Amino acid sequence: MMALRSLLLPMLDPNRGRIRIFDGRVSWKVDSGLSTPGAMASRRHFPCLVDHMYFSLLSFCILGVTVQSVSAAEVHLAWDQVDDARIDHYQIFIGYTPEQYIHRLETTSTSLKVAGLGTGTTYFFAVRACDRSGLLCSAISNIIGATIPSEQIPTPPSNDQATSPNPASVIGANFQMEIGEINVNEMWQRINFQQAFMDPVVVIKPLSFYGAHPDVIRVNGIDQQGFWVRIQEWDYRDAGHGFDLANYLAIERGRHQLDNGTWLEAGSILTTATNAYEYQGFSQGFASPPVVLASVSSFNATQAVSARLNRVNHSGFFVGLLDQDAYDVRSVPERIDFVAWESSVGVMQNLRFEVGRLGEAVNAMTYRMFYQGDYASTPFFMGDLLTTNNVDGANLRINFIDSDRVDFWVQGAKEVDMATSQVSEDVGYFILDVEN
């Protein structure tokens, strides 16, 4: 998929007529024959005539731009090939109105799938052909509009079907926390909390490795009673996926202090930063860089993405959305939920916890970690990559877990990815054990 480059494009008017230069300004000559320096006509029809005596443009236009298909995630465009030896590529303009474009794509093909579009949103597309320099281009084609359908989230099942099979609640002096294990596949399912929250933050990472394909966890519809969750495979896959296990942590939004003095903070960020990062500061600084877990907690656009962290320090961290190829740009914001917890080992009421980081020691080879404490049964393990040394949508996967240890590794977005196997990441983890 070609990268969406976020640049404001000039309002190129495709009306019939000729472009001329008057005193260094551009003028568009419309059907009436009248010419006004600097003005642009507002009518929208698309002849091809260009007067080369006044302005250097290719003397043809692209006809027959069509929408081949529209899905919940993308629009498939196609257009007539231009038979001219000077043509090097096509430029595709994308906008929310037919008069102004905010994104541009380039391709050498005569068709393109535009992904990462917002559901329930209408987009307008136009195409032109250009030489290698991009300075010599044809007139703009006809403008095509397409509305992305809204994805239908299923009706919630009954509580006994939707609740996590073994959730555990922790009620602190001033906040609430719930930890649970879920069995999830590519179908949306509803998870209901044991007790209602005021304003919950939900983080789910990592997945087990029962389903071998690379994928991400998607969350949507978080409210006081619960949330929706599913597995989403990367866009190049067929979207089918068997069941995998994952642990979730739900906690009241805000900054909280545990009984032993350890601080943690739960919050959210709304971002369009795709394959890029923006800084998220903590409400107050930590004494040392905390362990941060983050996951995408909305489904505003259906293109697969994961939340990636980088440069975590005592005052904040960098975070963004990463896709399978690390070059697409998303125009629709997604919510990322995060929990930052000071490295510590302790007990709070019925919760035992170990929070720490491993340094840049984990790659595509299995990493075996033994717990510091002794556990009568398998605790909840949650982990995330605290660096982005792999440029694609890498994620942590669990191979094995029991009461003594956990085995995990870094899986790239592609099934065979030698680059990912050679690069190590810093991994942060929460080990949580709750006695109800």
pLDDT the model gives residue 229: 92
CA distance 64 to 62: 7
* Average pLDDT over the chain, rounded to an integer: 75
| 268 band by pLDDT with thresholds 50, 70 and 90 | very high
Query: pLDDT digit string (tens) for 283-299?
Result: 999 999 999 999 999 98
pLDDT the model gives residue 255: 95
Mean pLDDT of 351-368: 92
Mean pLDDT of 8-22: 29
CB 386 within 8 A of CB 429: no
Whether the predicted pLDDT of 195 surpasses 50: yes
Query: pLDDT digit string (tens) for 112-125?
Result: 877 666 667 788 88
pTM of this prediction?
0.63
Cα 22 versus chain centre, distance: 46
Mean pLDDT of 211-227: 85
The CATH code of the domain at 5-147 is: 2.60.40.10
pLDDT the model gives residue 337: 97
**Residue 132 or residue 343, greater confidence:** 343
| 145 band by pLDDT with thresholds 50, 70 and 90 | confident
pLDDT the model gives residue 300: 85
CA distance 252 to 237: 35
Q: In what order do the strands lie in the sheet with 226-233?
A: 189-192, 226-233, 215-220
| 196 band by pLDDT with thresholds 50, 70 and 90 | very high
**Residue 329 or residue 38, greater confidence:** 329
pLDDT the model gives residue 165: 55
**Residue 416 or residue 96, greater confidence:** 96
Cα 396 versus chain centre, distance: 17
Determine the residue type at 213. H
Long-range contacts of 171-176 (CB under 8 A, 24+ apart): 171/195, 171/349, 172/256, 172/258, 172/259, 172/348, 172/349, 173/259, 174/256, 175/251, 175/252, 175/254, 175/256, 176/251, 176/252
Mean pLDDT of 169-191: 83
Which residue in 244, 190, 180 sits closest to 212, CA to CA?
A: 244
CA distance 182 to 244: 8
Q: Which of 14-28, 135-149, 166-180, 338-352 has the highest mean pLDDT?
A: 338-352
Per DSSP bridges, beta strands 367-370 and 405-411 are: antiparallel
SS3 per residue for the chain? CCCCEECCCCCCCCCCCEEEEECCEEEEECCCCCEEECCCCCCCCCCCCCCCCCCCCCCCECCCCEEEEECCCEEEEECCCCCCCCCCEEEEEEECECCECCEEEEECCCEEEEECCECCCEEEEEEEEECCCCCCECECCCCEEEECCCCCCCCCCCHHHHCCCCCEEEECCCCEEEEEEEEECCCCEEEECCCCCCCEEEEEEEEECCCCCCEEEEEECCCCCEEEEEEEECCCCCCCCCCEEEEEEEEECEEEECCCCCEEEEEEEEECCECCCEEEECCCCCCCCCEEEEEECCCCECCCCEEEEECCCCCEEEEEEECCCCCCCCCCCEEEEEEEECCEEEEECCEEEEEEEEEEEECCCCEEEECCCCCCCCCEEEEEECCCCCCCCCEEEEEEECCCEEEEEEECCCCCCHHHHHCCEEEEEEEEEECC
**Residue 342 or residue 242, greater confidence:** 342
Whether the predicted pLDDT of 57 surpasses 90: no
pLDDT the model gives residue 78: 86
Q: Which of 53-67, 129-143, 369-383 has the highest mean pLDDT?
A: 369-383
Whether the predicted pLDDT of 9 surpasses 70: no
| 393 band by pLDDT with thresholds 50, 70 and 90 | low
Whether the predicted pLDDT of 322 surpasses 50: yes
| 37 band by pLDDT with thresholds 50, 70 and 90 | very low
Whether the predicted pLDDT of 52 surpasses 70: no
pLDDT the model gives residue 370: 96
CA distance 73 to 301: 7
pLDDT the model gives residue 240: 58
Whether the predicted pLDDT of 306 surpasses 70: yes
Whether the predicted pLDDT of 22 surpasses 50: no
- Lowest mean pLDDT, pick from 146-155, 258-267, 287-296: 146-155
Retrieve residue 392's tokens.
């694609």
pLDDT the model gives residue 423: 82
Domain ranges of the chain: 5-147, 159-434
Mean pLDDT of 23-45: 28
pLDDT the model gives residue 46: 33
Whether the predicted pLDDT of 219 surpasses 50: yes
**Residue 418 or residue 128, greater confidence:** 128
CB 270 within 8 A of CB 237: no
